[in-house]
Amino acid sequence: MEILDSIKEQIENNPVILYMKGSPNQPQCGFSARTSQALMACGERFAYVDVLSNPEIREHLPAYANWPTFPQLWVGGELIGGCDIITEMHESGELQPLLKDTVSSAAEGEATE
């Protein structure tokens, strides 16, 4: 499978997915740490991909997303942004309802299939 197909599939199959350096419990950069902490504080489950252990994704995702840096948060198939945007959304109270609505909608979609 082509790497771009793999990326597309990951984004389509996970209502909330974070491409980051490291893991939420062991982030490998400060930006990934702040982003994953904001997500975890919202209390919704999310998938993640460690781009350090997936060099092909690390190489190709910036072109796919038209976003040059990591972390990258995708919600409902849409790129939301990186650390600064996610941190601001969390602080303003916008992030949690977005995640909750997206996860709830995905769960309802699975229940009706």
Q: What is the pLDDT of residues 42-74, one digit of tens each?
A: 999 999 999 999 999 999 999 999 999 999 999
> How much is the mean pLDDT over the chain?
95
20 pLDDT more than 90: yes
3-state class percentages of the chain: helix first, strand second, coil last, to nearest 5 = 55, 20, 25
Q: What is the pLDDT of residue 108?
A: 84
pLDDT above 90: percentage of residues in the chain: 91
Q: Could you give the number of structural domains in the chain? A: 1
Query: What's 28's domain CATH number?
Result: 3.40.30.10
* Structural domain containing residue 69: 3-112
pLDDT at 37 over 80: yes
φ, ψ of residue 18 in degrees (nearest 5): -115, 120
Q: Each residue of 73-105: pLDDT tens digit?
A: 999 999 999 999 999 999 999 999 999 999 999
Q: Write the DSSP symbol of residue 94.
A: -
Tell me if 50 sits within 8 A of 19, measured CB to CB: no
Q: Check residue 111 and give its pLDDT.
A: 66
